[in-house]
Amino acid sequence: MDNFYMFIATGGGSGYLPKAPGTWGSVVGVLFWFFFHRLALSRYGLLVAGLFILGTIAAGAAEKIMDRPDPGPVVVDEIVGQMIALAGAPANPIIVILGFIFFRFFDILKPLPVGWLDSHIHGGMGIMLDDVAAGVYAMLLLQLGLWLFT
């Protein structure tokens, strides 16, 4: 079971890629979005919610397996956050790139409540929630931009 949890938590091993594992996890999130963005938004949301639940369990298990809090190779949180950032986005390369940049910006900068969640909630839930918040910020900014400029 540990191998299964680590596979999920590390985004299929993408979290082990060199330099900036969170960015690699976000790339996997874009790939997931690419395969599932045509779903109705309600079904897409259920998929993301399911991945959030599975990711929370897997990330919590990975912490115990690796014996350290929020280990770098755990990127399922970035996958979920990136999928949230791109929810409802049109299949336009520029929009997708902007969604990727916005998510990475908020994930790295950690404005309130992202940073608070990161430092105050621990375990699998803590690993996941700050990226969910960053994803929501990125989605709101992306959707505002689409509303203003299209």
CB atoms < 10 A from the CB of 115, how many?
Answer: 14
Determine, yes or no, domain membership for 150: no
Contact at 8 Å (CB) between 62 and 5? yes
Whether the per-residue pLDDT at 144 is higher than 90: the answer is yes
Determine, yes or no, domain membership for 13: no
Whether the per-residue pLDDT at 17 is higher than 90: the answer is yes
* pLDDT, position 73: 97
Task: Say which amino acid occupies 148.
Answer: L
Domain count, the chain: 1
Determine, yes or no, domain membership for 141: yes
Determine, yes or no, domain membership for 28: yes
* pLDDT, position 75: 98
Query: CA 65 to CA 48: how far, in whole Å?
Result: 25
Determine, yes or no, domain membership for 67: yes
CB atoms < 10 A from the CB of 6, how many?
Answer: 20
CB atoms < 10 A from the CB of 66, how many?
Answer: 16
Torsion of CA 124, 128, 130, 131, to 10 degrees: 160
Determine, yes or no, domain membership for 16: no
CB atoms < 10 A from the CB of 50, how many?
Answer: 11
* pLDDT, position 94: 97
| Predicted confidence band of residue 101 (pLDDT cuts 50, 70, 90) | very high
Whether the per-residue pLDDT at 20 is higher than 90: the answer is yes
Mean pLDDT of 6-16: 98
Range of the domain at 97: 2-7+21-145
Determine, yes or no, domain membership for 94: yes
Mean pLDDT of 88-106: 98
Whether the per-residue pLDDT at 150 is higher than 90: the answer is no
